[in-house]
Structure 1
Amino acid sequence: MDIWILVIVLLVIAVILLVLSLYNNDTKDIEKQLNEFTTQQSQEMYSIKSRLSELEKDYHFDNDNTDRQLEDQDLVDYDNTTEVTENVTITETTIAEVSDDTRDEVIRLYSQGYTMHEIGHEVNLNTRIIQDIIDDYIENR
């Protein structure tokens, strides 16, 4: 009878050690995978940040050139009291007077990420009308 108790105790110890070894290996694998994932995410984040930095530099460069061009167009000669302004005329209209094609164009440009100011120059409307069109679009989706 003593031998059976010894066999059962050894069997229970073996099962416990087996379960512990399986759990211990899984933890190491999970930690290894987590470390690899963290490293990969860090590399991707660095890549995204560096690309964003390049795009911001390009945008600021382009924006600076555009600002200089606009400044050249918007110069005011106070000696001669003449103004040179941009040739775009933004018409004062109401939202009811805007055609369906213009509405579609505003929605398309908004969907592509253009700003209200850029859309206004593209379709010759003021930003208040553009905002109303976009608000109406968002409400009626």
Structure 2
Amino acid sequence: MDIWILVIALLVIAIILFVISMYSKDSNNVEEQLSEFSVQQSQELYSIKSRISELERTQRQVVANNNVDYSSEAEELSTAIEEEILPESISDMTREDVIRLYSQGYTMHEIAHEVKVSPQVVQHVIDDYIENR
């Protein structure tokens, strides 16, 4: 019987402490902290959005400034490269080496270094190979 009195006394104390904790001023403090946190998050989000919009404006300006018509220069360059690179200027063995290395996944510069020709020649051989597959 003494144990039941002790259990009931502890249960009553626990209920009283729980009720006291519900009405304490600590809940107001938590609400204030939560409110302050949400305000800080809103300010940081606004700051990030304004930075992003500024970066986008800067990027648009850079693109607008660099939006020059290079098509005629590119055509002249490709014509000059085609005139400079004649299919007969490299041997069949070199062609086969370029195609083999290309098939193995080497980059243009790696192939050019390995075969000891210019990257433009490598590009021309690979383009020719792809067109005639």
| Larger Rg belongs to | 2
Give the TM-score, by structure 1 length. Answer: 0.46
Give the TM-score, by structure 2 length. Answer: 0.49
Structure (1 or 2) with the greater helix fraction = 2
